[in-house]
Amino acid sequence: MTVITRQDVQALLSTICRIQFAKREEVSKRIANKITLGLLIMATSGLRVYELTKLPLSYIDKGSLECPPRFRKQASQE
């Protein structure tokens, strides 16, 4: 099992802030904010990376996350 440290999360957040995801600055910033929110949710909630990476960005909005059952890993799949 790999342990992710606080420094790892901070380094990734710094990288996300530097990347331009779209031509328009406002769109790029919105995408970066959603990616940042997803990263922080993964780092603090125990949500599996597999589950979060399958979610479309549209499911992460305004500080909340909607994770429908079809995106969740079932105990039988582990």
53 inside domain: yes
pLDDT band at 68 (very low <50, low <70, confident <90, very high): confident
Evaluate if residue 24 carries a pLDDT over 90.
yes
Give the residue with greater pLDDT, 28 vs 6.
28
Q: What is the mean pLDDT of residues 52-63?
A: 72
55 inside domain: yes
73 inside domain: no
Half-sphere exposure of 54 (CA within 13 A, CB side): 12
Q: Choose among 35, 6, 4: nearest CA to 19.
A: 35
Tens of pLDDT, residue by residue over 34-48, are 888 878 877 777 677
72 inside domain: no
Evaluate if residue 75 carries a pLDDT over 90.
no
**Residue 24 C-alpha from the chain's centroid:** 21
How many distinct structural domains can be found in the chain? 1
70 inside domain: no
What is the extent of the structural domain holding 58?
6-62
41 inside domain: yes
Q: What is the mean pLDDT of residues 1-8?
A: 76
